[in-house]
Structure 1
Amino acid sequence: MRFLMACAVLLCLTGCSSKPGIALNNQQTVIMESPVLTAGIIPGTPSLSVDQGRQKATLSLSNNQPKAIQIHYVFYWYDKQGLDLLPFAAPRTITVPANSDVDIYSLNGNLDAYSVRVHLYL
């Protein structure tokens, strides 16, 4: 009985030893509502770079339809632990011309900026 209790305590302590932070799926960098894909917009993967000492995230959007599509988007920035960085960016809007590509971007001056996620919606 003591053995089982000792095992239970060890299991509980093992579960508490994970790194602090929020689990952030780094492979889900673009979140889009289904009407965006239905409208013919195909996003790329956000790329990060440095622009004048600030983090810059760039995302390419492709429109494969014969008409222009208006898209709303928001960039969300995170630190290494997966926590949101403030202030949140305001939603923006862009019109992607027919059968063409455009790049959208966001700049963040926070030195803790580590990763980004983009939300696309109509």
Structure 2
Amino acid sequence: MRFMMACAVLLCLAGCSNKSGIALNNRQTVIMESPVLTAGIIPGSPALSVDQGRKKATLSLSNNQPKPIKINFVFYWYDKQGLDLLPFAEPRTVTVPANATIDISSLNGNLDAYSVRVHLYL
């Protein structure tokens, strides 16, 4: 009985260990409220590059409707541990023309910038 209890305690402790940092789902790079999709906006995935020594994230937005759609967006940058990088970007607005695709982007001069997440809302 004691052996079983000791094993249970060890299994619990082993399950509690993890690497340092914040648990982020790296596949969830675009967060959008449901009205964005209903409005006809289809986002791509953010692409990261380097532009004059700064990290650059670019995201394509496609509008499959016969009218222009106004979208608000914010880019959130993270380091390798999943921690937010300061300063936070200001929310911006763009109008996606009817039946067209445009690119939105964000630059970050922080050398620790590792990943990005984009929030889209109307």
Structure 2 length-normalised TM: 0.95
Structure 1 distance, partners of 2:13, 2:38, is 47
Structure 2 distance, partners of 1:17, 1:69, is 46
Deviation at 1:57, TM superposition (A): 0.3
- Does residue 38 of structure 1 match 2:38? yes
Aligned residue-pair number: 122
Partner of 2:57: 57
Deviation at 1:60, TM superposition (A): 0.3
Deviation at 1:23, TM superposition (A): 1.3
For structure 2, which runs of at least 5 residues remain unmatched after alignment?
none
Structure 1 distance, partners of 2:24, 2:14, is 21
Deviation at 1:22, TM superposition (A): 1.4
SS of aligned partner of 1:9: helix
Q: Which runs of 4+ in 1 moved over 6 A?
A: none
Structure 1 length-normalised TM: 0.95
Provide Cα deviations, 1:73-117, integer angstroms capped at 9, x if missing partner: 000111111111111111000011111111000011111111111
